[in-house]
Chains A and B, each alone.
Chain A
């Protein structure tokens, strides 16, 4: 590694140490400093990886898919650099490099990077670092207050896909992405779901055609990995003409879908590994941070489910339908999207578990939404800490479930941590 890179890492580690010393956890600060003093840092480090860079893009499922890809590759001996905490911006990646770098060996000890990037940052990223592989999951309406229109998002995804030097993996059920895929010069592998499951995984356009009963069109692309069927956490995939059964720790239909994407790219990067080998590793992979993870809080299990747009909220409601005392926490900070109109694109009438409390900055908006679906709500409490306490203290033996937007999820985790109910790993 070049000397100036080493100097930057040293400075980064120093900044990180100092910021921790004064009590800031601050993972962004080292990245901020290094970007200032050495803008080409990230190109140099990532460019030196033997197996290159995989970029994961799309509206929903980036964090879980990135986690699954990283763990699959790790299970086959690859040393993976990843931005695991969902900090999908440049500074987060730099901070990860700084913390992973071993000073005593003067080496990063990494073979490949698996990075989740949002569309806007992804486009800037690929101008600086050409990824070997790009995985594109879906295009859904999300944070339109940032990008304006879906067509803009699609254009950004196209330029990211076009930057891949070795290959791309694309959701074969997303017509907009498939159209981009047909024009790519590198090999493209598609993943998707069995035609009879298509209605459970609507595209954005299908999601909004709430009034048309026409069944979604089936893919015409050849799928490398197809989600074939699932019952609870028992999942089957069709890979290479064979059906493979596997029992997963991941929960929720959308995570089984994400796993199909991960299997496809893993197979593209390491084609010699057997399907059985990949599935054996997949079995042990746990849900990502706040993406359907279960936490033991006192005597109750609490499920945390991130919702950020109509598609992820609908998928979340459909995937987590077992009896549970439920809280919904809606914030409208920048990272959540300032516009809460999207709540009106979610149909709550089919969700049968008892929604106990609405919380977050826009708790009253959420309560109003439920009112118009004629759904009983026991409480509305803007303050997340109070709402969470009332959810946990309610006299019910049911498991607890929280659907929350991004910043609400971060706040809830911090509250749980503060009250020392979460294990040391959290």
Chain B
């Protein structure tokens, strides 16, 4: 029997897609296709109702104006997102949406935005912009990327960070912790094409989704990721800024 395609939901494609975030969706789609699995990409735009049945949710970064634009809508679908989170739906939230998945976000010009509180964290806009190459160590091994944010994210003691920073800033200028992880939800400042560069994380999201569907993820066929390994080697040679 032919299995139904995996449904990937991308949140706010028009407003929250600033640094090549679409690469994350592309990575999931291709890695499914290359294994003979089908993907169906859905887009949540302002005003849309949140689908009850999705397999993976991806959200990107935006400018401050983008965050303000989508904020009310995000609060509206917050309850639905919590429900999906409780059902162990895997999610990847980058930069701007990572911030709004916390409890609150105070922008640099002191505007306070309530978050949906999936992460026990809050973010304060500070004068300093944290920009540069970043390398972290996570449960999936080394992740490489680029960060560009002026929000300092403080995790409550109960909140598990996603990774330890090896190069760069991460959640705050001290450069210790990066991101947050709750259930199968990963929040991170590593923007843009995080998943193609870090295929282990892409496959982890896919595996979570397959487990939720009761399909055997042990059979996730290996792919040739030697190119991503070379990209890691190059990234380790680059300075932070």
Q: Which residues in A have some Cβ–Cβ distance to B below 8 Å?
A: 141, 144-145, 148-151, 208-212, 332, 338-345, 361-362, 364-365, 367-369, 371-374, 380, 382
Contacts and interface: CB of A to CB of B under 8 A. Distances in A.
Interface centre among A141, A340, A369 (most CB of B within 10 A): A340
Given A145-B148, A344-B22, 16 more contacts: A148-B131, A148-B150, A151-B63, A211-B13, A332-B238, A338-B131, A338-B146, A338-B238, A344-B21, A344-B23, A344-B192, A361-B234, A368-B197, A368-B227, A368-B228, A369-B193
Nearest to A343: B20
5 contacts: A148-B150, A338-B131, A361-B234, A368-B197, A372-B23
A387 to B, nearest CB: 15
B63 A150 contact: yes
B27 A372 contact: yes
Contacts of B174: none
A150 B20 CA distance: 15
B193 A149 contact: no
Given A211-B14, A341-B192, A371-B227, A145 B132 contact: yes
Contacts of A144: 18-19, 148
A145 B20 CA distance: 13
A132 B133 CA distance: 41
Contacts, number: 100
Contacts of B148: 144-145, 148, 339
Contacts of A380: 230
A339 B129 CA distance: 14
Contact of A341 (B19, B129, B230): B19
A338 B65 CA distance: 24
A303 B131 CA distance: 34
B26 interface: yes
Contact of B146 (A212, A339, A374): A339
Contacts of A373: 26
A-B pairs with lowest CB-CB distance, top 3: A341-B192, A344-B20, A344-B23
Contact of B192 (A148, A338, A339, A364): A339
A123 to B, nearest CB: 18
Nearest to B26: A372
A179 to B, nearest CB: 14
A148 B129 contact: yes
Interface string B207-239: 000000000000000000001101101100010
A372 B29 CA distance: 9
B17 interface: yes
A351 to B, nearest CB: 16
A57 to B, nearest CB: 20
B241 to A, nearest CB: 6
A365 B231 contact: yes
Contacts of A345: 19-20, 22
Contacts of B30: 372, 374
Contacts of B241: 145, 338
B128 to A, nearest CB: 11
Contacts of A344: 19-23, 26, 192-193, 196
A237 B80 CA distance: 53
A210 to B, nearest CB: 7
Nearest to B21: A344
Nearest to B132: A338
Nearest to B61: A341
Nearest to B234: A364
Contact of B230 (A151, A209, A339, A364): A364
Given A151-B65, A208-B14, A368 B196 contact: yes
A338 B235 CA distance: 11
Nearest to A341: B192
B191 interface: yes
Interface string B111-154: 00000000000000000010111000000000000101010000
B64 interface: yes
Contacts of B17: 208, 210
B227 A341 contact: no
Nearest to B199: A368
B20 A342 contact: yes
Interface string B154-180: 000000000000000000000000000
Given A211-B13, A342-B19, A364 B193 contact: no
